[in-house]
Amino acid sequence: MSDTTQQVLSPATNGYGADSIQVLEGLEAVRKRPAMYIGDISVKGLHHLVYEVVDNSIDEALAGYCHNIVVNIYPDNSVSVEDDGRGIPTGMNTKEQRNALELVMTMLHAGGKFDKNTYKVSGGLHGVGVSCVNALSSDLHVTVQRDGKKYEQAYKIGIPQYPVREIGLSDKTGTRVHFHPDASIFITTVYNREILESRLRELSFLNKGVKIVFNDYREPDEQGMTYTKIFYSEGGIVEFLEMLDANAGRNPLIPKVIYVNGIDEGTHVAVEIALTYNDSFSEHIYSYVNNINTIEGGTHVAGFRRALTRVFKSYGDKQNHFEKAKVEIEGDDYREGLSAIISVKVPEPQFEGQTKTKLGNNEVSGIVDTTVSKVLEAFLEENPREAKSIIQKVILAAQARAAARKARELVQRKSVLSGGGLPGKLADCSERSPERCELYLVEGDSAGGTAKQGRDRGFQAILPLRGKILNVEKAMEHRIYENEEIRNMYTALGVTVGTPEDPKALNLAKLRYHKVIIMTDADVDGSHIATLILTFIYRYMSALVEQGYIYIAQPPLYLVKKGKEQAYAWTEDQRTLQIERIGGGKEDSVSVQRYKGLGEMNASQLWDTTMNPETRTLKQVTIESATEADRVFSMLMGDEVAPRRDFIESHAKYARLDV
């Protein structure tokens, strides 16, 4: 927004006096440092605006007044959120001597001051409220229906354009907020349908009984109709868990998901948990606080784990199951194949951790522990057959752990540290100092061959990986250490596997490369393989991700050519641009080659486009992006397989750009 426009809208000219100066200062602060309020000014922050408004409607639903929410994206990328709640109050607020609606829309944190006794999920992660959305919108229009009437007010960059006014009668109640994200603030103002859908779907599971209708008016569906999705779940997190496990191909070990719920009378903390066991070998706990995904866990997760271990241990001991099996059971063994969703609602959550997604409230762990224990104990008593399946699974986990230790020791012995030598398939570089060395993990022997020819052997090493690498999600731990490709990675990198106490902890003291670059074909299969490699690294070598050593290579998608002139393109836009430039807009005068695999490039092309540090683009994998990829991956797989393919194909969510 330019200075001149702001002057036109200044308080002096639109009839607002001295008392609105304070409000303006608040909104001004938001516009000066938007990232402080909504995280960033890119895709994430842009979508956060929608979440913020929807959260307010969800609060109305939690208070028991709202049942339907409609979210619309319009062709101009403006968004409206409409609910059938009580409607934001429109009367005079006696203390502030201002209209309540205007206060809610323009004063930071004003929304929550009205009724204290209900849960609020809004104002969660960044704690901002709808006034923040208002401040960051070039235009916003709110309509409220309540007390038999309909009211409206409009704003520009948060500044009211006229006093709240009546515009007619109404026998309904509710609130509609329609906003245009300010293009002078956001890097992009184009909404992503999938991102919004995935969050709205999640919200419908986390708040059962609330119907969320989503319309995207920008582009019709395949039938030429308005693109519409309805998100509604009667089963809530039980259904959510069933969907997540089914999408990941995990099969249930017990016929029915175990459901736990309760409210602590003293603290008003509400606990809702769905859990089950499946045939996989990993633990999947999805946790939420006030509808926010707490990827770093916290006291609610700790309380859950503690209760689970204690209840199963005491049950197994009592029945002499463990004694008979002659294995020592550890805490982790109780959670192999466990899938759970923990959703707690906490009146005043304290968020901690690097990404502020770790619950800190100490009282919550005891509350969750007690609630879970009660239900689990009763479940085991009443369902001996299911109890037996779970106990057998726990014993199997303990036995597998012993086998894994042996396999791990084998890897250890064969590793460089113990003088075992480098893998035969590794084409190493001559440079010795790790900071300057790069290791390319290349899919397939033939692409590996091209990479070997194309590389700078001074500092670039190549390790070809054959075919599909093991899916560590599905395989037992000792199989992982027995896998040749995985063992080669350990030895080539020069890292050791960790200690028996913490097998996944990595010793990086002798790490041989500070850039590890995953290079696969730019098609679905290639992305799938990259995902498998990344999943392995993320689960077993997360220290490498934390240190920022993991990258994904970006081979080009197209070669545009006319006579001697040629150019590479990494995106559809670049392709169009190069056709324009080289062919003068005539598409038939140029040849466009779509690279499906690395094998279609010769060594010098591969060097120019993908390996030469001067010209290549690498995407760095960060812990946040890897966690997010992990999360979005299982989450996105809603109704059909198609979105999964699209998602894997675009694989943009892994990483941030790093040139």
Least distance to ligand 0RA, CB of residue 91, Å: 10
Q: Is 555 in the site for ligand 0RA (CB under 6 A)?
A: no
User: Cβ contacts of residue 465 below 8 Å, gap of 6+?
Assistant: 441, 442, 443, 444, 448, 485, 488, 489, 529, 533
Which one from 525, 580, 600, 624 is the annotated catalytic residue? 525
Helix (H) or strand (E) holding 38: helix 34-38
Nearer to ligand 0RA among residue 64 and residue 255 (C-beta): 64
Distances (CA, A) of 543 to 219, 505, 508, 532: 43, 8, 8, 17
CB of 228 vs ligand 0RA, minimal distance in Å: 22
Tell me the three state secondary structure of residue 597.
Answer: coil
**DSSP 8-state symbol, 128:** -
Stretch that binds ligand 0RA, among 108-116, 251-259, 405-413, 633-641 (CB under 6 A): 108-116
291 binds ligand 0RA (CB under 6 A): no
Site string for ligand 0RA, 174-213 (x = CB under 6 A): -x--------------------------------------
DSSP β-bridge partners for residue 160: 155
Give the nearer residue to ligand 0RA in terms of CB position, either 57 or 138: 57
Q: Is residue 349 part of the contact set for ligand 0RA (CB under 6 A)?
A: no
Residue 88 within binding range of ligand 0RA, rule CB under 6 A: yes
Nearest to 1 by CA among 198, 137, 118, 117: 137
CA torsion, ordered 475, 479, 483, 489, to nearest 10 deg:
80
Shortest separation between residue 112's beta carbon and ligand 0RA, angstroms: 8
- Taking CB under 6 A as the criterion, the residue among 11, 89, 127, 638 binding ligand 0RA is 89
Question: Is 60 near ligand 0RA (CB under 6 A)?
Answer: yes
Output the six-digit token pair for 57.
Answer: 């409607």
Is 503 an interacting residue with respect to ligand 0RA (CB under 6 A)? no
Q: Return the SS3 of 502.
A: coil
SS3 302: helix
Catalytic residue among 264, 369, 443, 630: 443
Q: Where are the alpha helices (DSSP H) in 459-599?
A: 477-482, 484-493, 524-540, 542-546, 572-583
Q: Does 491 bind ligand 0RA (CB under 6 A)?
A: no
User: Closest CB to ligand 0RA among 114 and 162?
Assistant: 114
Please report how close the Cβ of residue 179 comes to ligand 0RA at its closest, in angstroms. Answer: 12
- Interface with ligand 0RA (CB under 6 A), residue total 14
Question: How near is the Cβ of 130 to ligand 0RA at its closest, in Å?
Answer: 6
Would you count residue 111 as binding ligand 0RA (CB under 6 A)? yes
Buried b (16+ CB within 10 A) or exposed e, 250-280: bebbbeebbbbebebeeeebbbbbbbbbbeb
Q: Give CA–CA dist 69/81, Å, rounded.
A: 7
115 catalytic residue (yes or no): no
Residue in 152, 239, 523, 608 annotated catalytic: 523
Q: How far apart are CA 26 and CA 158, in angstroms?
A: 10
For ligand 0RA, the binding residue among 91, 114, 594, 652 (CB under 6 A) is 114
| E strands, 198-347, in order | 211-216, 227-231, 258-263, 270-277, 284-289, 292-293, 338-345
Judged by CB under 6 A, does residue 359 bind ligand 0RA? no
Crossing angle of helices 237-247 and 193-206, rounded to 10°: 130
Instruction: Indicate if 182 belongs to the active site.
Output: no
Report which residue's Cβ sits closest to ligand 0RA: 56
- Return the number of other C-beta atoms located less than 10 Å from residue 639's C-beta: 10
- Is residue 521 within the footprint of ligand 0RA (CB under 6 A)? no
Q: Which of 24, 26, 38, 56 binds ligand 0RA (CB under 6 A)?
A: 56
The candidate with the shortest Cα–Cα distance to 305, out of 325, 333, 347, 270, is: 333
Of residues 45, 85, 123, 252, which one binds ligand 0RA by CB under 6 A?
Answer: 85
Question: What are the two backbone dihedrals, phi and then psi, of residue 71, each rounded to the nearest 5 degrees?
Answer: -115, 125
Residues 117-176 touching ligand 0RA, rule: CB under 6 A, are 130, 175
Among 57, 276, 278, 357, binds ligand 0RA (CB under 6 A): 57
**Is 443 part of the annotated catalytic residue set?**
yes
Lookup result for tokens 């062919």: 583
Min. distance of Cβ 54 from ligand 0RA in angstroms? 9
**Length in residues, the chain:** 659
Least Å distance between CB 246 and ligand 0RA?
34
Q: Please report whether residue 343 would count as binding ligand 0RA according to CB under 6 A.
A: no
> Which residue type does 199 have?
R
Please identify every residue annotated as catalytic: 443, 521, 523, 525
* Residues at the site binding ligand 0RA, with contacts judged by CB under 6 A: 56-57, 60, 83, 85-86, 88-89, 104, 111, 114-115, 130, 175
